Amino acid sequence: MYDKWLADRTRWFDASGIRKVFDLAAKLENPVNLSIGQPDFDAPETARQAAIEAISSRKNGYTPTQGAAVLRQLVQKQVDEQFGAGVREAFIASGTSGALFLTIMTLVNPGDEVIIFDPFFVMYDALVRMVGAKPVYISTYPDFHIDVNKVEAAITDKTKLIILNSPCNPTGSIASEQVCRDLAELADRKQVALVSDEIYKFFCYDGEFCSPAKFSKNVIVMDGYSKCYGVPGWRLGFVHGPHEIIQQMLKFQQYTFVCAPSALQYGVIGAIGTDMQPILNAYRHKRDLVYDGLKDYFEIEKSEGAFYSFPKAPIAASEFVNKAILERSLLVIPGNVFSSADTNFRISFAASDETIEKGVEILVDMVKKM
């Protein structure tokens, strides 16, 4: 009976493969968990106290759809300082996931094509399908860097959008300044929208982060506070881009999310300006623990950013991950969750050093016994 009730779009994509791994892992006692895509550090004390104060002082109602004035003005000031006053308009969204949903709803029609770099964050593919559009995948294997010539070759008269995620989940790769420039110029030349998901930009280990918005006023940027301040559950992000696009996104926010969580908007203000350099240094060390521990046993690129590594499995990745989970109680995510290929698997090093060392030891031992 219920099949008759369900909308067609429920059949256009499956439940997250990550959730399936978590369901499998729920049967395990004390697993070695290198699967979680969220920071293992807590929010700064200043942020926690500011949130408490906001709740205690009854800042629990709606804010304006575009965000609490004080936070929105802070974000707008940062954007103006970086890209020039009056060039880009900003607003507060319910996380970068919420921002992505608003972007897809605002820009993409059924039958449109959206270019996605493979491997990709799982939500990109699902949201494109949700609106009846077609994902067009461009492989970045084996080194996970973007070939802009492949992007140009993939653009058709149906192409509406290109989604860039740098630093990338799941690969840890970062788009170079030249790639950012070339993508921005290509998108402008072809009159295709370019969305830049920059939620991991704090986690750049060996060089400077570059946004394609540096090269075009038309780029739509999604960013937020979940990763850099350890508040993923607060659901706070922000978007900036052309006024004409932002105003339409706000219309969709008004009729979906209404506004981002109100008291927590005031809470995150308390975190802005906090010195998070010790966290970045700690995560660079975690990155090195994974890479140095696995490089002699796996094909693996050294992560440039985010908190993920994406090594190649010695057998089909889905089979390798099942063995890791069921036989060794090690939680990692098979690469086919993020990709059309079943070759690699994702390690999240957003975990304690001890957990990382245990996970690396298990992975090396598995390979030695194959």
* Angstrom distance (rounded) from CA 306 to CA 197: 12
Predicted pLDDT of residue 17: 66
Mean pLDDT of 71-94: 96
Predicted pLDDT of residue 205: 97
Q: Confidence band (pLDDT; 50, 70, 90) for 15?
A: low
Predicted pLDDT of residue 268: 95
**Tokens representing residue 315 in the block:** 């057998």
Q: Confidence band (pLDDT; 50, 70, 90) for 10?
A: confident
Predicted pLDDT of residue 287: 98
Q: Confidence band (pLDDT; 50, 70, 90) for 321?
A: very high
Dihedral angle sign, alpha carbons of residues 294, 297, 298, 304: positive
Please write the tens of the pLDDT for every residue from 162-206.
Answer: 999 999 999 999 999 999 999 999 999 999 999 999 999 999 999
Q: Confidence band (pLDDT; 50, 70, 90) for 159?
A: very high
pLDDT at 253 over 70: yes
Instruction: Enumerate domains of the chain plus CATH numbers.
Output: 2-43+276-368 (3.90.1150.10), 60-269 (3.40.640.10)
CA neighbor of 272 nearest in space, from 59, 73, 100: 73
Q: What is the DSSP code string of 31-48?
A: -EE----S-SSPPPHHHH
pLDDT at 104 over 90: yes
Predicted pLDDT of residue 3: 80
Q: Confidence band (pLDDT; 50, 70, 90) for 215?
A: very high
Predicted pLDDT of residue 1: 72
